[in-house]
Amino acid sequence: MKLRKAYIKNFRLLKNLELNFSTSEKQPLTVIRASNETGKTTCLRALTWALYGKNALPKSKGNTFSLAPADMNQQSNVNISVEIEFETDTVMNPGRPNQNIKKKIYKLKRQVTEKIMPDEGNSQLNEFLDLYEVTESGLKSISENHEINEIIENAIPKELKDIYFTDGDAAMSFIEASASKGVKRKRVSDAIERLLGLDSLENAIRHTGDIASRFSKQIDNTDYASALTTNKDMIEALEMELKHEDENVRVAEENIKDSNSGIEKTQASIDEIIRHGNRNELIKKRNDLQERKQSAENSGKESLIRLASILSSRSLANSLISGVGMAGMDILNQMSEKKQLPKANIPVMKELLERSKCFCGASLDESDGEGNKRREHIKHTITASEEADLLSEVATSLYYSLRDEEFGKDSRDVWMKTFSDNVNKLAQSDGESQQCNHDLEQIEDKINGLKDKSLEVYKTKMRAHRETLSSSQIRLGEATQQMRSLEAKIAQAKSKRAQLERKLDRADVNTSKMRTARIAEEVFTSIFNKMKDQEVDAVSAEMNRIFLEMIGASKDPENNELSLISRAELTKDFDIAVYGPNGHKLNPDDDLNGASRRAITLAFILALTSVSQVDAPNVIDTPLGMMAGYVKQSVLLRAIEEGSQVILFLTQDEIKGVERILDKYAGIVFTLTNPAHYPEMLVNKPEVEDLRIIRCECNHNVSCHICERKFIEIQ
């Protein structure tokens, strides 16, 4: 990148200033001759502000760095702008065979409106950045901010602005004694990193480190793998238990089915038994019937016996002999009527003798006189009777034995009643017996039709089936319930498993990402360190070369005992070290003069630009201060040689002694004058009335009415 020109408007003292820069390769030097307080630093700031915005401005505590000219009216809005025209070499078709480098010219304009408020601090409004590509067809606007920034960044990276836009004093910061060693090292380290792009790498390291940390924080330290294993084991156990319960369900269902079938069959058997009758009940019935039958038969037999007894009955006999009997009784009756039958009966009388009283109640007691008397009479009668005819006896006995007998119809009625009654009873008995026989037959048939097993056996079987059914149903319920519970647990465990897997994945992902980030960080760090080491060595070597050339140190210090400085080195610790004869380390603060110190810092900067191979202008404000003679020339020459475009703000004093170099290498030289130096330092009164830097085209060899300065010698 090369600066072509810049137009600065209202940027502090630079109210209307155009700067143009040499882009010649043969005369790459641009010299802007300017005394102190002539806006040199302001020019640098204007340029960097244009490129990088307010971040390039010095940090002012609490206040915005004011850009507007100090003499602007209060409460006025000042339009501030800086235009830079620059050219870059853009690689067309990078990486392709037809790759070529094309020069592109851009016009950059940054502008801002600043409201003048001295007491409160100026406020900046409406900052705009425009970039145009200068093409053959005109200005081509680059509207996208990111594209603008990319082009600028490619031209001169922001991190390098302090390298390429620097002043000699700032360069001294690398070795200035006022800074602590750590500060100096950091400055050197930062400079190296910035120029070599190591800060990008360092940013990448930091970024990847942050990413790694972020992922690390996202990593759950929970041992999800272990938890997942436990979870999977649990699922396996639950599934096995589920399988077991499923088997239990199946067995229970089968048992239920079998039990129901058994119940059905047993019930059918029971029903059949009941239809046919219970064997025991049938047997009991049979027995009852048999008893009834027996009873009936017995009753029948009794009836028969009673009927048969009629044949031997008195009444039958009387009825059979009725005529003859009555005829015989007639004869006896006649005899009785004729008193031919004794009234007394000897047996009766003999019986009376055995009694103490007569049938009539009279006493027959022997101790009793009357009784004894009667007894004697009876004895007498007995004797008399015995003395009667045997016939009379028999006839009399017969008569009295049959006197009350009924012959004929009455006696017939007696045995006929018996006959009738017992015939009826016999008929009943026979009927009962027959019915019993009939019933017995049926019962016997039923009994014979019964199966061997009794109802009780089937009832026992039924109970067993029902018990099995009940227990199976309970078991089925329990197993089903258990299955549901297990299924829910399994679902829950699987959900947990998925969760763990996700977390594991995430953990793995996060771990993976973290590791990737860490690896990237390590790689970047490694690259960074390596590059740093390499670049440090490279810079060190280059710095040493440039520095020694600047100061005119012998190229063979070992053979030149007069050389004070044998070499300069950029250590791994980012110390800029200078060594004297025999490798003795010199203290830059004590052992180097100001010129050498400035030279070495410039050498460091130039070494950085050389090693970085960044094609960017070196814009240095007063690089040659404190230098004189050989060193000044050498430094200038080295700067010109090492830089691709060197833009130097030089005071008149700095120019002294290097005019020939400027003549040779300065493509553009012009002078900036601060009218405020009139009359102390300027010969002529400036023609402007406000505070502003004025440019004239005088070079180091001439001066004009604007820039002519007085020779001042302070007494």
With binding defined as CB under 8 A, does residue 211 bind other proteins? no
Tokens of 564: 């004070």
CB nearer to other proteins: give 274 or 308. 308
CB nearer to other proteins: give 393 or 615. 393
With binding defined as CB under 8 A, does residue 676 bind other proteins? no
| Pairwise CA distance, residues 447 & 442, whole Å | 8
Instruction: Choose among 572, 569, 561, 634: nearest CA to 607.
Output: 569
| Pairwise CA distance, residues 260 & 267, whole Å | 10
CB nearer to other proteins: give 240 or 391. 391
| Pairwise CA distance, residues 604 & 541, whole Å | 10
With 0-12 CB in 10 A as exposed, 13-18 as middle and 19+ as buried, what is 247? Answer: exposed
The answer to whether residues 83 and 105 touch, using CB atoms and an 8 Å cutoff, is no
As measured in angstroms, the least distance from the Cβ of 378 to other proteins is 17
| Pairwise CA distance, residues 332 & 393, whole Å | 12
As measured in angstroms, the least distance from the Cβ of 340 to other proteins is 9
CB nearer to other proteins: give 240 or 348. 348
Tokens of 688: 């402007």
As measured in angstroms, the least distance from the Cβ of 292 to other proteins is 19
With binding defined as CB under 8 A, does residue 387 bind other proteins? no
Q: Which stretch binds other proteins (CB under 8 A): 228-236, 312-320, 432-440, 680-688?
A: 312-320
User: Any alpha helices (H) in 196-311, and if so which ranges?
Assistant: 198-218, 224-276, 279-311
# of chain residues touching other proteins (CB under 8 A) = 46
Tokens of 689: 């009335």
Q: Compute the half-sphere exposure of residue 325: CA atoms within 13 Å on the CB side of its CA.
A: 20
As measured in angstroms, the least distance from the Cβ of 296 to other proteins is 14
With binding defined as CB under 8 A, does residue 397 bind other proteins? yes
CB nearer to other proteins: give 227 or 402. 402
CB nearer to other proteins: give 251 or 335. 335
What binding mask, one character per residue, do residues 415-434 give for other proteins by CB under 8 A, x or -? -x--x---------------
- DSSP for residue 157: -
With binding defined as CB under 8 A, does residue 402 bind other proteins? yes
With binding defined as CB under 8 A, does residue 336 bind other proteins? no
> DSSP characters for 568-620?
EEE-TT--EEEE-GGGPEEPHHHHS-HHHHHHHHHHHHHHHHHHHT---EEEE
Q: In which element (H, E) is residue 168 found?
A: helix 168-172
What binding mask, one character per residue, do residues 26-55 give for other proteins by CB under 8 A, x or -? ------------------------------
Q: Which stretch binds other proteins (CB under 8 A): 196-204, 267-275, 320-328, 476-484?
A: 320-328
Q: In which element (H, E) is residue 165 found?
A: strand 165-167
With binding defined as CB under 8 A, does residue 197 bind other proteins? no
With binding defined as CB under 8 A, does residue 700 bind other proteins? no
As measured in angstroms, the least distance from the Cβ of 359 to other proteins is 16
With binding defined as CB under 8 A, does residue 332 bind other proteins? yes
> DSSP characters for 495-530?
HHHHHHHHHHHHHHHHHHHHHHHHHHHHHHHHHHHH
Instruction: Choose among 595, 567, 592: nearest CA to 581.
Output: 567
With binding defined as CB under 8 A, does residue 317 bind other proteins? yes
As measured in angstroms, the least distance from the Cβ of 293 to other proteins is 16
With binding defined as CB under 8 A, does residue 353 bind other proteins? no
The answer to whether residues 303 and 425 touch, using CB atoms and an 8 Å cutoff, is yes
As measured in angstroms, the least distance from the Cβ of 302 to other proteins is 10
End-to-end CA distance of the chain: 47
Q: Which stretch binds other proteins (CB under 8 A): 90-98, 397-405, 450-458, 693-701?
A: 397-405
With binding defined as CB under 8 A, does residue 321 bind other proteins? yes
Tokens of 66: 């004011």
Instruction: Choose among 605, 285, 609, 333: nearest CA to 447.
Output: 285
Q: Which stretch binds other proteins (CB under 8 A): 60-68, 314-322, 485-493, 577-585?
A: 314-322
CB nearer to other proteins: give 351 or 456. 351
With binding defined as CB under 8 A, does residue 323 bind other proteins? yes
Q: Which stretch binds other proteins (CB under 8 A): 203-211, 391-399, 500-508, 668-676?
A: 391-399
Tokens of 676: 């405020």
With binding defined as CB under 8 A, does residue 267 bind other proteins? no
> DSSP characters for 172-207?
HTTT-TTS-HHHHHHHHHHHHHHHTTHHHHHHHHHH
With binding defined as CB under 8 A, does residue 327 bind other proteins? yes
Residues that bind other proteins (CB under 8 A): 301, 304-305, 307-312, 314, 316-332, 335, 346-347, 389-391, 394-395, 397-398, 400-402, 405, 408-409, 412, 416, 419
